[in-house]
């Protein structure tokens, strides 16, 4: 997988990204666990590039090779750092992908800066802070992907997101924890432990121009 490591000056400190591909931007954000970094997406970056997009897999502020302030920023400040990256790269819009807490940040961006959001890819997203009424305000193409055996955030939350966000498409990936070498929590990271299934879904969404959305109650298993 070809790519480059880039650093961006933000109001929260230096932000590191692994950048792969050319084309419209897909900005990927990891979860809250201290061990998380851009590499949670390492099996998906080439698929994004092959779909004609430029992937930015971030180390959020406080993680990986990014700066580590004493007070790790919460979602709103992380979102501002992402917007600083976009300004430096002259990106008017991006598709935002987030797993777990990264999904919180993606949703925050969609609700507070909707003109900057071309689409959402929500993977086992931590969305409990957002009411159905708030989610109903989202108007961009939205893909919701969930591990059916997620023991961290049950798939019922994915179904809630797909019902609440107009036009959202839900894809449920079964048996993630049965993948070779998968840990008990693997269902929370289907893009890592079932990358073939995940990448096929992802490329279909991106090649549809950000996602040809289906009925928002659609629940497809792969």
The CATH number that applies at residue 27 is 3.40.50.1820
Instruction: Give the per-residue pLDDT at 60.
Output: 98
Instruction: Give the per-residue pLDDT at 216.
Output: 29
Crossing angle for the helix pair 101-112 and 75-88, to the nearest 10 degrees = 70
Q: Which domain holds residue 158?
A: 4-221
Q: Which positions ≥6 away from 194 have C-beta within 8 Å? A: 147, 173, 175, 176, 179
Instruction: Give the per-residue pLDDT at 212.
Output: 36
Q: What is the DSSP letter of 165?
A: S
Structural domains of the chain, count: 1
Instruction: Give the per-residue pLDDT at 210.
Output: 62
Question: Among 155, 156, 117, which residue's Cα sits nearest to residue 138?
Answer: 117
Low-confidence ranges of the chain (pLDDT < 70): 1, 209-222
Tokens of 51: 């779909």
């Amino acid at each position: 997988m070809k790519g480059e490591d880039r650093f961006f000056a933000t109001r929260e400190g230096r932000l590191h990204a692994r950048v792969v591909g050319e084309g419209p931007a897909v900005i990927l954000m990891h979860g809250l666990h201290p061990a998380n970094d851009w590499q949670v997406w390492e099996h998906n970056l080439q698929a994004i590039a092959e779909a004609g997009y430029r992937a930015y897999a971030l180390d959020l502020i406080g993680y990986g090779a990014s700066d580590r302030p004493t007070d790790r920023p919460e979602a709103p400040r992380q979102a501002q750092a992402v917007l600083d990256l976009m300004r430096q790269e002259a990106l008017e819009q991006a598709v935002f992908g987030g797993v777990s807490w990264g999904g919180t940040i993606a949703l925050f961006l969609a609700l507070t800066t909707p003109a900057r959001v071309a689409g959402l890819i929500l993977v086992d997203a931590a969305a409990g802070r957002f009411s159905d009424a708030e989610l109903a305000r989202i108007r961009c193409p939205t893909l919701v992907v969930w591990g059916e055996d997620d023991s961290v955030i049950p798939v019922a939350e994915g179904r809630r997101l797909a019902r609440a966000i107009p036009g959202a498409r839900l894809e449920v990936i079964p048996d993630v924890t049965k993948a070779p070498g998968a840990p008990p929590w693997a269902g929370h990271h289907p893009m890592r432990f079932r990358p073939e299934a995940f990448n096929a879904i992802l490329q279909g969404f991106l090649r549809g121009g950000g996602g040809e959305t289906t009925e928002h109650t659609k629940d497809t298993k792969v």
